[in-house]
Copies of this chain bind each other. A is one copy, B any other.
């Protein structure tokens, strides 16, 4: 311990790189006791339920081995914030379980910056951490709160509800494909925009909160629409139909790849972290207005009806998704 260099003590590692957020917020966001004891003590606002989720990202599986540490830190928190967004919850605290092969100061600085910048932007305090040596694995547990009984669930959708998504779909999948080619050729502006969408996803936290009381069900699209929509449909005991030509595509996507490939990515690629919502037709304008206030596009992509399963069409013709979404053990 003590001297800087490649050998950092565990406690010093945590306090040097990760205490920024915790220290700054110890008095302002319910943190009674932050990093440094056996556990954190946290005060939940009255009248709320605790909301908890965990998501892990693994090197070579969820991000390229050579990914920028800043992006890894950002994504590790973003995927968890997205889970809270999908519940309409307010994120408040996070703990970090970081397994890494060695403690390189430059890498840790960028990783912590990516994670803590996003934490600060979302009012999240890092209240606990654990660092161990091993293959690079980043597990974040996010904690937040929501007024009792108001959380958005997957199982509340009703027959006749419209299906809507925020933002655009497929960008992160396209971006990940371009990441692989980056060193070989100078990427276009469109490719760079797509790569940015993969490396720095924007969880829809504010919109999720605004959608409470309007949407009947919500989830985030992390494993691709074709993988995730069936989960919402099953939870609500309904069927869904999606009009693939309605899926929102970004200008960058349209500029960078052929239309058919863009649709495949929009249907099947993961990592976008947009929200998928069910909303009664008469409330659609309210949801749209909430999105507009956040400069977020909202697009109707289909509807829910009684039955089970998901059907897809493209301009009135049956459409067969190329991918069924990402499953780590399939």
Contact = CB atoms under 8 A, between A and B. Distances in A.
Interface stretch (A51-59, A64-72, A313-321): A51-59
A61 B95 contact: no
Given A50-B50, A51-B39, A58 B8 contact: no
Contacts of A38: 53, 82-84, 86-87, 154, 218-220
Contact of A9 (B32, B54, B143, B330): B330
**How many copies make up the complex?**
2
A4 to B, nearest CB: 12
A7 to B, nearest CB: 6
Nearest to A129: B54
A41 interface: yes
Given A54-B96, A58-B133, A328-B133, A41 B49 contact: yes
Contacts of A329: 7-10, 13, 102-103, 131, 133
A132 interface: yes
A56 B43 CA distance: 25
Interface stretch (A134-142, A242-250, A284-292): A134-142
8 contacts: A38-B82, A41-B87, A41-B146, A50-B50, A52-B127, A52-B141, A61-B132, A95-B141
Given A53-B128, A135-B137, 20 more contacts: A7-B329, A9-B329, A9-B330, A10-B329, A37-B154, A38-B84, A38-B87, A38-B219, A39-B83, A52-B127, A52-B128, A54-B129, A55-B130, A56-B97, A103-B329, A131-B328, A133-B328, A133-B329, A134-B137, A135-B135
